[in-house]
Amino acid sequence: MNTLARPVAALGRAILDTVFHLGRYAILSAKAFFFSILPPWRPRAILKQMEFVGVDSLLVVILTGIFTGGVFTLQIIYGFRRFSADSMVGPTVATAMTRELGPVLTALMVTGRVGSSMAAEMAAMKVTEQIDALTVMAAEPVKYLISPRIIAGIFMLPLLTAVADAVGVVGGYFVAMSKGLDSGQFVGRIQDIVIMDDVFDGLVKAAVFGFILTSVGCYSGYYCKGGAEGVGKATTIAVVVSYVTILVGDFIMTALMY
Amino acid sequence: MKAPEIRVKGLCKSFGDNKVLKDLEITLEAGKVNFIIGRSGGGKSVLLKHLTGLLTPDSGEVWYGDREFFRAGKREKENLRKSVGLLFQDGALFDSLSAGENVIFPLWYHRAMPEDKAKERALSLLKDLGMEGAYDHRVEDLSGGEKKRVAIARALVMEPGVLFFDEPTTGLDPILSTQVDALILEARERTGATVAVVSHDIAAALSISDRIHLLHEGRVLLSGTAFDFKKSDLPEVKAFLTGDEPEGP
Ligand SMILES: Nc1ncnc2c1ncn2[C@@H]1O[C@H](COP(=O)(O)OP(=O)(O)OP(=O)(O)O)[C@@H](O)[C@H]1O
Ligand SMILES: [Mg+2]
């Protein structure tokens, strides 16, 4: 092949690869969705995943929320004071947390914890033939393994985000107090300015992120190839692809929502 | 059609340039114990994976009685699979479950019987395999031979009409091997199942099989009884029975 054709061929292959993965991902997600509404339902499997995605992520999410709210307040408080806009500090922190920082940072943290571990778990099951074993027993692996994980992601991410939003505002509150704002000033106008839609839009985003991080994690593990090395690769790919998809998806959703 | 005859026609499978199965024909007689022997890497596990639909053939057919597996609908495939028990060469136990939960998994998943009954059956199977104490053990804590026995119990628990074992006695001591051979025969007696055993244990093949099939270079070189094998003049067969390198032509 001559020097000109090689990059073109590589580009073509990359495009074909991407289309292939997108198609297979879409099919897997659709299957997971249909299996989750078809009986028999397995509430216990879903609850177990909800515990893993939600309850076990709580500490990480609380820490993320507090410090994000805190540092954001630190960053804005001087500037706002220069314009005597002290009473706007609280509403600004609350808006930023509920619309943007809460959903996105929660999703990124949970991807690191949950998305990666789902990818590793699926991949290990794949390479040790456990997924084949399910198939042979006429136990549909997508229904048994993937549907509960995705459902748990969709339901738990909004709850975690709500927690992050709340503790973020609390973190901001304490920072503002320590910088000499009084509590009436911080809280006073939050209710007037932050409307329910801000919170709600953030939670919708969170549900979408929950879908992305669980489905991408499961996908990359489920189709993993090649032993222990493949397991590691599946995990890395899951995290990187989820991060990028969450950030791009966040931009698109935000542009559509306002 | 609890224990069907299984007939494979013209099965071909390649992985890249590696032609593993070349127009393979084999008939597993209904209700009989069929041993499949052959060199390591000869495609025995690949054959079992085609029989259970885990691999799709490049061409060829797999008949369970009068039904062709790969042309069957989703429902039908599921029903066929429910009547098949497969022991994977490496066990393929679920490491998120305990040994006992692995054994009852098929019963639990298909809600085949109440939980206490299922547990009773699992315990009795484990007991037959000398593993009665291991019900609550974690899979990762089991030894290789223990894992194998738990996996055997899981393959048997649904009392399927078709049983495939991929090297059930590899890695077991001679005493356990004899027990497992006995268990396979007993399962066949109890359910009348069609049994296929992939094995490197020639002594077992000669003593407990109804039929032996020698896989060689992607085809079945010889199918017959132990007697047929003992009196065969084929150099590959002789080499296999004695463990010597096959003589040159
Ligand atoms: N999924 C796969 N992808 C590529 N090649 C494969 C795959 N599965 C099996 N093979 C190849 O097919 C050939 C037959 O493998 P198989 O596992 O069936 O051997 P076997 O007869 O079971 O050997 P053993 O007695 O050692 O278990 C081997 O060369 C193997 O490398
Ligand atoms: Mg094998």
Q: What is the pLDDT of residues A85-98, one digit of tens each?
A: 888 999 999 999 99
What is the rounded CA–CA span in Å between residue A224 and residue A116?
13
Phi, psi of A251, rounded to the nearest 5 degrees: -60, -50
* DSSP, residue by residue, B143-184: -HHHHHHHHHHHHHTT--SEEEEESSSTTS-HHHHHHHHHHH
Considering only CA atoms, which residue is closest to atom 28 of ligand 1? B41
Question: CB distance from A236 to chain B under 8 Å?
Answer: no
User: Is the CB–ligand 1 distance for residue B40 below 6 Å?
Assistant: yes
What is the rounded CA–CA span in Å between residue B86 and residue A195?
59
- Among A119-133, A160-174, B181-195, the least confident range: B181-195
For residue A249 the two structure tokens come to 């998806």
Considering only the beta carbons, identify the residue of B52, B94, B96 that sits closest to A136.
B52
What is the rounded CA–CA span in Å between residue B226 and residue B249?
25
Burial of A8 (0-12, 13-18, 19+ CB in 10 A): exposed
- Up-side HSE of residue A88: CA atoms within 13 Å toward CB? 9
User: Is the CB–ligand 1 distance for residue B70 below 6 Å?
Assistant: no
pLDDT for res A87: 86
Are B52 and A130 in contact (CB < 8 Å)?
no
Strands B211-216 and B33-38: parallel
Chain B residues within 8 A of A130 when measuring between CB atoms: 92-95
Considering only CA atoms, which residue is closest to atom 2 of ligand 1? B15
Are A129 and B88 in contact (CB < 8 Å)?
yes
For residue A177 the two structure tokens come to 């107090």
B132 has a pLDDT exceeding 90: no
- Spell out the domain ranges in chain A: 5-257
User: ∠B88-B142-B34 over CA atoms, to 5°?
Assistant: 30
Centre of ligand 1 to C-alpha A158, Å, is: 46
A180 has a pLDDT exceeding 90: no
pLDDT range class, residue B124, cuts 50, 70, 90: very high
Q: What is the pTM of this model?
A: 0.90
**CA B4 remoteness from chain centre:** 15
DSSP H helices, chain A, are: 5-37, 43-53, 58-82, 89-96, 102-110, 116-127, 130-136, 141, 147-178, 183-188, 190-193, 196-222, 227-257
The residues, ordered by sequence, that sit 6+ positions from B105 with a Cβ below 8 Å of its Cβ are A137, A139, B94, B97, B154
pLDDT range class, residue B249, cuts 50, 70, 90: low
Are A138 and B81 in contact (CB < 8 Å)?
yes
Nearest CA to A132 out of B76, B89, B126 is that of: B89
What is the rounded CA–CA span in Å between residue A85 and residue A48?
47
What pLDDT digit, counting tens, does each position of B133-152 carry?
999 999 999 998 899 999 99
The residues, ordered by sequence, that sit 6+ positions from A189 with a Cβ below 8 Å of its Cβ are A87, A88, A90, A91
Question: CB distance from B95 to chain A under 8 Å?
Answer: yes
Domains recognised in chain B with CATH numbers:
1-83+162-249 (3.40.50.300), 95-159 (no CATH)
The residues, ordered by sequence, that sit 6+ positions from A223 with a Cβ below 8 Å of its Cβ are A24, A126
For residue B97 the two structure tokens come to 């479950």
pLDDT for res A153: 97
Nearest CA to A198 out of A105, A94, A106, A104 is that of: A94
Question: CB distance from B53 to chain A under 8 Å?
Answer: yes
What pLDDT digit, counting tens, does each position of A193-222 carry?
888 888 999 999 999 999 999 999 999 999
Q: ω into residue A40 within 30 of 0, thus cis?
A: yes
Chain A residues within 8 A of B54 when measuring between CB atoms: 132, 135-136
User: What is the greatest pairwise CA distance in chain A?
Assistant: 72
Ligand 1 atom at minimal distance to the Cα of residue B38: 21
Tell which wins on pLDDT, B241 or B21. Answer: B21
pLDDT range class, residue B70, cuts 50, 70, 90: very high
Chain A residue whose CA is closest to B87: A133
Chain A residues within 8 A of B86 when measuring between CB atoms: 133, 136
